[in-house]
Amino acid sequence: MVLHDIMKYIESEYGIINSTPCEICGGSYIAENLEVHVVDDIPYDVCICVCSECGHEKAFSFCAPFINDELFKTAKKTMH
Residue numbers at the binding site for Zn ion (CB under 5 A)? 22, 24-25, 27, 51, 53-54, 56
Residue number, 1 or 25, with CB nearest to Zn ion: 25
To Zn ion, the closest distance from the beta carbon of 71 in angstroms equals 33
Residue number, 59 or 79, with CB nearest to Zn ion: 59
Of 69, 34, 29, nearest in space to 53 by CA? 29
To Zn ion, the closest distance from the beta carbon of 13 in angstroms equals 19
Alpha helices in the chain (DSSP H): 3-18, 69-79
